[in-house]
């Protein structure tokens, strides 16, 4: 189980009905195991009226088809409530440090706004909207949809073929070998129409997909560290994960600030093509030194999920 760390609890909750490409969290309804960031919206090919969302599969374990996805995530909302409780009258008297008006109002807003699920591993509080009955459980955001497809594996030849594609496009490319494995980590979920806010980044529609190539200027959107710029490293990074050794595209952040931190996985990586941003990748991990973020090219994800395309 993921701990209620500061990455989830230190900031007030963003609770948008219709979501865009912004720093929000999502996760399995009622689950404290993990949470992640939002990549963007997809549609079927050929297109129909349905809309789908994308994130990293490891952010929503076990990511089984049919499981409900919510935003804000259970982990974020519950962690924030746990952080606020000692400064409110909702906590046990022996746990109360001091009642702070602003934090008390925020805690009451969380209890009133978000759905409650009894759970022994959750937090204990007095519900001011239910005669101050003591409850133990979790809070979670509104439903986005349910998981419809997912992939979490490592495969060879993918980066080799991707590098050849970059060369054919006249873009800088990576040195790769056919035998090198790379991570495929994506989860697609249905999205309710009332939660669909389009692929809009800082008021600009992101309508096209681009490529991650050496020295490309990129920006990312993550729940924990928000918006940040960087550039793609020219050398692929060897990464030891649960599936063994893989080679991944690595990104360095500007100004010696990490491009991605815990909680940013699943976030969208945008490539700057002469002032036009295009969706180019999905954050999947970081290295142990925290100075490099790892990303899977969006084109590899869409090649793996062949019936979907960027919305």
157: left (phi over 0), alpha (psi -120 to 50) or beta: left
Query: 204 and 78, same structural domain?
Result: no
Query: 304 and 167, same structural domain?
Result: yes
Which CATH number fits the domain that encloses residue 261?
2.40.10.10
Judge whether 226 lies within some domain. yes
Judge whether 187 lies within some domain. no
Query: 115 and 259, same structural domain?
Result: no
Looking at residue 6, its pLDDT comes to: 63
Looking at residue 49, its pLDDT comes to: 84
Judge whether 193 lies within some domain. no
Query: 52 and 163, same structural domain?
Result: no
Query: 283 and 158, same structural domain?
Result: yes
Query: 174 and 85, same structural domain?
Result: no
Residue 107: which of 80, 132, 142, 76 has the closest Cα? Answer: 80
Judge whether 77 lies within some domain. yes
Query: 95 and 205, same structural domain?
Result: no
Judge whether 189 lies within some domain. no
Contact residues for 91 (Cβ-Cβ < 8 A; gap 6+): 85, 125, 126
Judge whether 227 lies within some domain. yes
Looking at residue 26, its pLDDT comes to: 97
Looking at residue 287, its pLDDT comes to: 82
Query: 42 and 126, same structural domain?
Result: yes
Looking at residue 5, its pLDDT comes to: 58
Query: 174 and 120, same structural domain?
Result: no
Judge whether 133 lies within some domain. yes
Query: 172 and 109, same structural domain?
Result: no
Looking at residue 1, its pLDDT comes to: 39
Backbone angles phi, psi at 181, to 5 degrees: -95, 150
CB 73 within 8 A of CB 41: no
Contact residues for 175 (Cβ-Cβ < 8 A; gap 6+): 163, 235, 236
Q: pLDDT by residue for the chain (311 residues), tens digit each?
A: 345 656 788 888 988 899 999 999 999 999 999 999 999 999 998 878 899 999 999 999 988 999 999 999 999 999 999 999 999 999 999 999 999 999 999 999 999 999 999 999 999 999 999 999 999 999 999 999 999 999 999 999 999 999 999 999 999 999 999 999 999 999 999 999 999 999 999 999 999 999 999 999 999 999 998 899 999 999 999 988 776 899 999 999 999 899 998 899 999 999 999 889 999 999 999 887 778 999 999 999 999 998 999 99
Looking at residue 40, its pLDDT comes to: 98
Number of domains in the chain: 2
3-state secondary structure of 180: coil
**Residue range of the domain that includes 215:** 154-182+199-310
Query: 165 and 73, same structural domain?
Result: no
Query: 33 and 132, same structural domain?
Result: yes
Judge whether 149 lies within some domain. no
Q: What's the pTM? A: 0.93
- Of 144, 170, 190, the last residue of a domain is 144
Looking at residue 2, its pLDDT comes to: 46
């Amino acid at each position: 189980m993921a701990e209620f760390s500061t990455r989830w609890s230190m900031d007030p909750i963003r609770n948008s009905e219709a979501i865009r490409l912004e720093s929000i969290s999502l996760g399995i309804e009622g689950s404290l195991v993990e949470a992640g960031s939002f990549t963007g919206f997809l549609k079927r090919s050929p297109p129909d009226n349905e809309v789908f969302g994308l994130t990293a599969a490891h952010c929503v374990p076990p990511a089984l088809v049919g499981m409900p996805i919510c935003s804000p995530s259970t982990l974020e909302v519950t962690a924030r409530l746990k952080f606020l409780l000692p400064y409110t009258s909702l906590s046990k008297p022996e746990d109360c440090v001091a009642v702070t008006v602003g934090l008390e109002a925020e805690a009451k807003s969380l209890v009133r706004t978000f759905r409650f699920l009894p759970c022994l591993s959750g937090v204990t509080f007095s519900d001011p909207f239910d005669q101050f009955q003591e409850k133990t459980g979790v809070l979670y955001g509104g439903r986005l949809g349910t998981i419809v497809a997912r992939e979490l594996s490592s495969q060879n030849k993918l980066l080799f073929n991707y590098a050849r594609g970059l060369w054919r496009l006249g873009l800088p490319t990576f040195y790769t070998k056919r035998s090198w494995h790379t991570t495929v980590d994506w989860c697609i979920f249905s999205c309710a129409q009332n939660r669909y806010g389009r692929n809009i980044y800082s008021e600009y529609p992101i309508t096209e997909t681009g490529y991650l190539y050496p020295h490309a200027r990129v920006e990312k959107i993550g729940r924990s560290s928000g918006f940040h710029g960087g550039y793609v490293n020219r050398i692929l990074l060897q990464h030891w994960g649960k599936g063994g050794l893989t080679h991944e595209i690595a990104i360095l952040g500007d100004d010696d600030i990490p491009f991605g931190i815990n909680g940013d996985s699943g976030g969208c990586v945008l490539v700057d093509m002469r002032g036009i941003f295009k969706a180019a990748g999905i954050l999947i991990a970081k290295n142990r030194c925290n100075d490099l973020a790892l990303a899977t090219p969006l084109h590899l994800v869409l090649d793996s999920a062949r019936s979907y395309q960027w919305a």
